[in-house]
């Protein structure tokens, strides 16, 4: 079964680099999230650290650990595939909780 048979695409969080909000009226969308956990502490990271919040807060939207690089907050399949580009905006060591990497 192809994604296009069950959904119109996926909805991603509107992070700072998402340029526009898509009209999702009447569309069946899958919701996409990335959860980050510390490799050592196994703690879930939900927010950027204070320093990164200052830096990322200059962009539109809420500062986020993961910033999606896309035109719209809805991604539609192309040739049956969905491509997402994203960057990490805050690294676990920035939090000072004992993690050097994410899971």
- In terms of Cα–Cα distance, which of 49, 56, 41 is closest to 94? 49
- Residues 6 or more apart whose CB falls under 8 angstroms from that of 51 comprise 94
- Asked if residue 15 lies in contact with residue 66, where contact means CB atoms within 8 angstroms, the answer is yes
Range 92-99 average pLDDT: 89
Range 54-61 average pLDDT: 72
Q: In the prediction, which pLDDT does 4 show?
A: 58
Task: Supply the mean pLDDT for the chain.
Answer: 86
Q: Is the pLDDT of residue 1 over 60?
A: no
Q: In the prediction, which pLDDT does 14 show?
A: 84
Residue 87, phi then psi, degrees to nearest 5: -130, 155
**Dist. CA 9–CA 40, nearest whole Å:** 35
């Amino acid at each position: 079964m192809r994604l296009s048979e069950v959904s119109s695409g996926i909805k991603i969080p509107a992070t700072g680099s998402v340029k526009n909000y898509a009209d999702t009226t009447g569309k069946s969308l899958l919701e996409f999230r990335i959860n980050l956990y510390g490799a050592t502490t196994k703690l879930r990271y939900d927010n950027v650290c204070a320093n990164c919040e200052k830096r990322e807060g200059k962009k539109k939207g809420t500062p986020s650990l993961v910033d999606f690089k896309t035109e719209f907050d809805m991604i539609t399949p192309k040739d049956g595939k969905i491509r997402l580009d994203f960057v990490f905006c805050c690294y676990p060591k920035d939090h000072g909780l004992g993690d050097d990497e994410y899971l």
